[in-house]
Amino acid sequence: MLSRFGALPPILQDSVGRETLIKPRGLTVRCFYFLSFIFFNVLAVSLLEAETLVIDVEKGVALALNNNERLLQAKIDVVHSREGHRLARSAGLPQLEASINYNRNWLLPSFVFAGSAVRIGTENNLTGTVTMRQRLYAGGGVRAAMDMADRQVAIMGETERETRQLVVAAVEERFYDLLLAGELLKVVHLAIERSRQNLHQVVSRGQAGRASEFDRLRAQVQVSSMRADSIRSENDLRLAAMALKDIVGIDLDQPLEVRGTFRIDTSLDINDLQGLLDRGVANRPELARIIRQLEYQERNVEFERAAGRPLLDLVATGQTQFQSNEFDLADKEWRKSWNTGVVLNIPIFDGQRTGARVAQAKQSLRRTEYERQRLEREVHLQVQQAYYDVEEASERIEANRDAVLQAEKGLRMAGSRYANGAGTLLEILDAQLALVQTRTENAMARRDRGLALMRLERSVGVLGE
């Protein structure tokens, strides 16, 4: 059957005699492809959302503590130092050695006695030796070495604690940088929206003959300038996210969703500066480490002095020997011997080497003491800087809180005046600039207060603990 639009689809009858059309196969295939396309797109979006990592400060710190390479290296250093203690202790424990020596004499020496040739020795010689050596006196060197190893373990422990605090501080700082970049981007987007509204209003007034061409150009320049600021802010946000991903140890392509806000409080008593100073001196891992280094250097002086003192060792040796021309271990008698003795080594003259090493150890001790004094002053300085930074940021927030409200009110007034013909476009631009500046300052002040509180805890030595 033909129609004016071409061949009609065939007609069939169903079981009750009703006529039905046979649907073209191409339409069914197209519907299948369309539905499949929608399904896979929805699935892809769902998978992408599922892979997005939601992160706050606590989760970022937890990831960094598990993934940060510097912290993992510090933990390995602690384990390494513990093995050093075992190494130092081994010098005071018995040393047991066993050795086996086999000699094959291919040509034995001989001499002539009473007209007969006599050979000396046997073709096979097998000797086994066991030696035990126990140091009885080492001039205090073993004890000093063990004390030094203990101090080294403590030093590495404080280094790990310092590294942990530095990682926590870096995570929190980069988290706040990302929050700030996001807030500044919102400020720029609002400024772009307002500048476009200005341009639309100026164009409308220009069509009515109430705005000049200069006002239109100025409004267009403002839109272009805001777009450039938006591009820069978007790039700052992207870089801040990458910096946070890097410090927590995740892939830079990992989608990220940040939740949280700037820190507003601390567990420290920020009204007691002297208490913060005293607590900083007591808790800072750097100072604790330098105190352990002083103890290490003191024991090192004793260790070097021990090199000029006598050494007394107890030695016990057992030996068994087998000699035969035929290598038959079962049928031959083994000759055995055991002996013990005491060995005393007294250093008489070593070219003043021991004295020089003792003098070097004393100078290292003095140098470490100066380092401790420098670090203590530095801790005082850092605590006071963080303390006053908290005060400054808090005062900036208080001063800026009313400024934002006033800038918003000023912008509304300038817009109303311009709409009624009583104001100029310059008033609107100035009001918008003031609003952007106050909002930017507010965001930066809140970020600075969060950083100052974090740095105060870091300078006192309690961050992350």
Supply the DSSP string of 185-247, one letter for each residue. HHHHHHHHHHHHHHHHHHHHHHHTT-S-HHHHHHHHHHHHHHHHHHHHHHHHHHHHHHHHHHH
DSSP code at position 91: G
**Whole-number pLDDT of residue 191:** 82
The angle at the Cα of 272, spanning 271 to 275, to the nearest 5 degrees, equals 155
Rounded to whole angstroms, the Cα distance separating 176 from 240 reads 9
pTM for the model: 0.76
CATH label, 62-107+142-460, candidates 3.30.1360.170, 3.40.50.1970, 1.20.1600.10, 3.30.460.10: 1.20.1600.10
Q: Report whether pLDDT(183) > 60.
A: yes
Higher-pLDDT residue of 451, 17 = 451
The whole-number average pLDDT for the span 176-184 is 92
Mean pLDDT for all residues in the chain:
83
Q: What is the distance between the alpha carbons of residues 276 and 268, in angstroms, rounded to a whole number?
A: 8
Mean pLDDT of 219-243: 88
- Its sign, for the CA torsion 95, 98, 103, 109, is positive
pLDDT at 171: 94
Beta-sheet pairing, 335-345 with 311-324: antiparallel
pLDDT at 291: 95
Mean pLDDT of 240-251: 91
pLDDT in tens, 411-453: 777 777 767 666 676 677 777 777 788 888 889 999 999 999 9
3-state secondary structure of 287: helix
Structure tokens at 214: 């200069």
End-to-end CA distance of the chain: 87
The single residue listed with the structure tokens 């989608």 is 255
H or E stretch including 35?
A: helix 25-51
Q: What secondary structure letter does DSSP report for 15? A: T
| Residues near 3 by beta carbon (within 8 Å), at least 6 away in sequence | none
Query: What is d(CA 412, CA 417) in angstroms, rounded to the nearest whole number?
Result: 9
Quick check: 364 pLDDT over 90? Answer: yes
In the prediction, which pLDDT does 12 show? Answer: 42
Query: Of 27-41, 314-328, 371-385, which gets the smallest average pLDDT?
Result: 27-41
Q: Which H or E run includes 326?
A: none
- Return phi, psi of residue 356, to 5°: -65, -40
User: How far is Cα of residue 314 from the mean position of the Cα atoms in its chain?
Assistant: 50
- Quote the pLDDT of residue 440: 86
| DSSP designation for 440 | H
Integer Cα distance of 41 and 422 in angstroms? 54
